Every structure is written in structure tokens, then in C-alpha cells.
Amino acid sequence: MEIIILILAGILFATAIYNLLQKQLLRIIIGTALLSHGAHLFILTMGKLKRGQPPIIMEGISDYVDPLPQALILTSIVISFGVTSLLLVLAYRTANENNSDDMAQLRGDEHE
């Protein structure tokens, strides 16, 4: 199953990069969101899948899945949420101020 999840993560990465290489601001942000999904799955898979019970201590259970990657991913989810929302507002302001969301048009003048 790990292989399948890793392939899924790879596909998420590929679509993320393809979106990042687009011109529209919104697609670029979609790309970053996909990228973080891929990364989270990646981290989760590194800790091995389905090797025990959820990491909540209960009587009579000795096998738990690795809790550390989960803690890392939790942190990462929150941070990427913060970044994504900032990017979204930034994109909104950029598009509003410049009347364009096209990256090809949003570049400085020749001498910058």
C-alpha cells in the first residue's frame, strides 16, 4: 500500500508543479495546495502505514502507529493553511490593484 500512496503523492507533486508553471495566480495557489497535500502524504508514508492502532493509549493495546509523523503533519497542515490564506489574499490584492492575474503581465519594467 505504501507504494501506491507514494505514487499518489508523486502524481500530486506532478500536478502541483504543472499548476505552478501556469500563468494564472489562482492556479499557482492551487499548485501550492496540492504540493502540501503531497508532502503530507509523503511524511505519513515514511512512518509506515497501518502497523497498529491509533496513537491513543488504551488498556490492552500494545501496538500503535508511529505518532511522530502525525505530529509533524499536524504542524505542517496549520502552517500551510496560514501560508495559503496569505497567498490568497495577496493574489486578491494583486489582481485588484493591477487588474490582471496573469503572471506574464505581472512583471517589472525592463530595468528592474
Partner 1 sequence: MIFTVLIPLILACFIPLLSKIKEKIHTGVFVFFIPFIIFLYFIQFVGNDFSPVRQTFRWIPSLGINLDFYLDGLSLLFALLISGIGALVVLYSIYYLNKTERLGHFYVYLLMFMAAMLGVVLSDNVFVLYTFWELTSISSFLLIGYWHFNERSRYGALKSMLITIFGGLSMFGGFVLLTVVTDTTSIQAMIEQKDVILNSTYLPLILGFILLGAFTKSAQFPFHIWLPDAMEAPTPVSAYLHSATMVKAGLFLVARFSPVFSTYEWFFIIVSLVGIVTLCWGSYMAVRQTDLKAILAFSTISQLGMIMAMLGFGTEIAVFAAVFHILNHATFKGSLFMVAGIVDHETGTRDIRKLGGLITFLPITGTLALFGTFSMAGIPLPFLNGFYSKELFFESSLDLAGASTFADLLAQAIPYLAVFGSIFTFVYSLYFLFGTFAGKADLAKLPKKPHEAPFGMLVSPIILVLGVILIGLFPNVVNGTFLAHAAEAIKGVSIEKHITFWHGFNYTPLQMTLIVVGLGLVLVLTRKKWAGAYHILPGKLSLNRLYNAILDKLDDWTKDVTQSYMTGSLRLYVAIIIGATLVVTAIVMLVTGGFNIQFNDLADVTAIEVSVVVIMVIAALGTIVAKNNVSAILILGVVGYGVAILFVLYRAPDLALTQLVIETVTVVLFLLCFYHMPKLRKRNESAGTKTINLIISIGFGALLTLVGISAHSSKWFDSIADYFIETSKPLGGGHNIVNVILVDMRGFDTLFEITVLGLAALAIYSLIKLKKGAK
Question: Restricting to residues 69-98, which ones interact with partner 1 according to CB under 8 A?
Answer: 70-71, 73-75, 77-79, 81-86, 88-93, 95-97
List, in sequence order, every residue forming a beta bridge with 102; answer none if it has no partner: 24
Minimum Å gap between C-beta 98 and partner 1 is 10
> Is residue 32 a contact residue for partner 1 (CB under 8 A)?
no
Our finding on whether 100 is near partner 1 (CB under 8 A) is yes
| Number of residues near partner 1 (by CB under 8 A) | 89
Report in angstroms how near the CB of residue 7 gets to partner 1 at its nearest: 5
Question: Least distance (Å) from partner 1 to the CB of residue 85?
Answer: 6
- Which residues in the 34-63 window bind partner 1 by CB under 8 A? 34, 37-38, 40-42, 44-58
Going by C-alpha positions, the residue among 68, 63, 27, 31 that lies closest to residue 46 is 68
The partner residues of 24 in beta bridges, in order of sequence, read 102
Task: Report long-range pairs for 8-11 (Cβ below 8 Å, ≥24 apart).
Answer: 8/41, 9/38, 9/39, 9/41, 9/42, 9/45, 10/38
The answer to the question of residue 68 lying near partner 1 (CB under 8 A) is yes
Q: Rg of the chain's alpha carbons, rounded to an integer?
A: 19
